[in-house]
Amino acid sequence: MDTIITRFPPSPTGTLHIGGARTALFNWLYARKTNGKFILRIEDTDTARSTKESVDAILESLEWLGIDWDEGPYFQTERYPIYNEYIEKLVESGSAYYCSCTPDEVNAMREEAKARGLKPMYNGKCRQRKLTKSDNTVVRLKTPDSGVTIVKDIVKGDTAFQNSEMDDFIIQRSDGSAMYNLAVVIDDITMGINTIIRGDDHLINTPKQMLIYKALGADMPVFGHVPMVLGSDKSRLSKRHGAMSVGEYKILGFLPDAMINYLVRLGWSHGDQEFFEKDDLIEKFDLEHLGRSASMFDTDKLVSLNSKHIQNKTPEELAGPLLFHLKNLGIDAKNDAFTRGVIETLQPRSKTLVEMAKGAVFYYQDDVKFDEKAAKKFLKQDILDVLQKSADYIEGLETYTQESLEDVFKKIMAETDLKFGKIAQPLRVAITGTTVSPGIFEMLLALGKDKTVLRIKRAIQFISKSGLFQDKA
């Protein structure tokens, strides 16, 4: 069997969005599953709209997702000589010809056909004129006058297109630049692409591309056109459905593995399995289970998957990505044992890395800022004795473990006749500044003995000096 060679050919006129990322993923997974090759090609012939910034953004998004490529990136604007060579072959073989009809003349032909109840199209006026190349000529492919072109599609099945409804379409503009359908086919032929998985919005181009393959006597690739991703209202996916560029999902705290997992499930299935790691996907991915129905983008499902992937990672795996989000909050943290301990306390409850980073802020603050409502309710004069005992007993511990901390609070409960909740909540506010945090023991252990004692003492000073939240007689 020939080596499977797939490709992803984005246009650098913007960032990488959900649909494009899914297309890249399907092609990448199939190449990796079959030990084939995955080629990256930048289709930048729209020079007016293509930008280096878009190229960089696309490459960065692919790299973040972990979608690597074996060849490329190739740029179509650097391949014009190759296109011209093949166009000359098509003209010399009689499969294509020069046409000098002006746009106004072509429009008149279309209007005439329309008036006769026919499909508006170019009428082939220059087919037999044997024109030579000039400044005002385009090159058109000779299309069959009869018969059908059948797209054999591994996703949608066979789709037949009547050749009589395809006019002799342009493959080279008068300025010498290649048209999209010609450039794509030449690229795929010269790069050895034999499997093409793309969105079904490209299906309308496929019969034209097949005619170019046939005119060149080239082997036809395998085509698979996957349905588009739709919004919850079944309209074309857009930002109003919550869909954004791939780079924005990184900023919002999603893990690349969660994005990969979610993207692949937008149009592919493996039984009822929902959760996949990347290696698992490479092992199980196939073309037979690509769906024929459009998939609906659901932000809630993505968030749920992201939460599961966060829980499935080790603190060591999450530390690097978390530092990026901590930095965005102005925290210069290190990938060290302290940060990994912080992650361990927040991991079970975090849906995104942004949520985790926000929850981690108090660990890195030198001076805790007390939430006014929390302080007014829990940092009162009558809690001073409990906080002082907590600071003294914890400071006196020789070993700082959950067991030793539990002994401390048992002792305080016995001495004060208070239940644990009446001790833990004021202590939580003293340590974090708020009433919401990870479990008290795991939090204290992650924070460390010295920082814990220091924060309790500062809370004592706050209560003693301010008097603001003391009970009034």
* One domain, residues 468 and 409: yes
Q: In which domain, by residue range, is 332 found?
A: 313-364
Q: How far apart are CA 419 and CA 439, in angstroms?
A: 16
Q: String of b and e for 396-432 (b: at least 16 CB within 10 Å)?
A: eeeeeeeeebeebbeebeeeeebeeeebebbbbbbbb
Higher-confidence residue of 466 and 19: namely: 19
Report the pLDDT averaged over residues 311-332.
97
Which alpha helices (DSSP H) does 217-350 contain, by range? Answer: 246-251, 256-265, 278-284, 299-312, 315-328, 337-346
pLDDT for 77 beyond 50: yes
Report the pLDDT averaged over residues 351-369.
95
Quote the pLDDT of residue 1.
Answer: 58
* One domain, residues 239 and 278: yes
* One domain, residues 48 and 86: no
Percent of residues, the chain, with pLDDT higher than 90: 92
Quote the pLDDT of residue 454.
Answer: 97
Active site residues per annotation: 239
Q: How far apart are CA 461 and CA 184, in angstroms?
A: 72
**Count of CB atoms within 10 A of residue 302's CB?**
24
Indicate which CATH number applies to the domain containing 355: 1.10.8
Mean residue pLDDT of the chain comes to: 95
pLDDT for 470 beyond 90: no
Question: What are 390's two structure tokens?
Answer: 């907590």
* One domain, residues 38 and 148: no
* One domain, residues 374 and 349: no
Tell if the pTM clears 0.85, that is, is over it: yes
Quote the pLDDT of residue 234.
Answer: 76
Indicate which CATH number applies to the domain containing 436: 1.10.10.350
* One domain, residues 391 and 334: no
Place of tokens 């994005």: 259
Map residue 193 onto helix, strand or coil: coil
Report the pLDDT averaged over residues 380-385.
94
pLDDT for 473 beyond 70: no
C-alpha gyration radius of the chain: 32
Percent of residues, the chain, with pLDDT higher than 70: 97
Quote the pLDDT of residue 235.
Answer: 80
Quote the pLDDT of residue 239.
Answer: 66
pLDDT tier at 237, thresholds 50, 70, 90: confident
pLDDT for 178 beyond 70: yes
Last residue of a domain, one of 226, 250, 284: 226
User: What DSSP string runs through 230-248?
Assistant: E-TTSSBP-GGGT--BHHH
Considering its fold, how many domains does the chain have in total? 4
The residues, any chain, with a CB within 8 Å of residue 366's CB and separated by 6 or more, are none
pLDDT tier at 40, thresholds 50, 70, 90: very high
Q: Per-residue pLDDT tens for 297-308?
A: 999 999 999 999
* One domain, residues 23 and 116: no
Last residue of a domain, one of 271, 306, 341: 306
pLDDT for 471 beyond 50: no
* One domain, residues 87 and 218: yes
* One domain, residues 295 and 421: no
Q: Per-residue pLDDT tens for 454-463?
A: 999 999 999 9
Quote the pLDDT of residue 31.
Answer: 98
pLDDT for 318 beyond 70: yes
* One domain, residues 87 and 136: yes
* One domain, residues 212 and 95: yes
Quote the pLDDT of residue 469.
Answer: 45
Quote the pLDDT of residue 238.
Answer: 72
Last residue of a domain, one of 226, 256, 290: 226
Indicate which CATH number applies to the domain containing 62: 3.40.50.620
* One domain, residues 393 and 434: yes
Q: How far apart are CA 306 and CA 407, in angstroms?
A: 37
pLDDT tier at 218, thresholds 50, 70, 90: very high
Q: Per-residue pLDDT tens for 135-167?
A: 999 999 999 999 999 999 999 999 999 999 999
The residues, any chain, with a CB within 8 Å of residue 212's CB and separated by 6 or more, are 90, 141, 171, 181, 182, 185
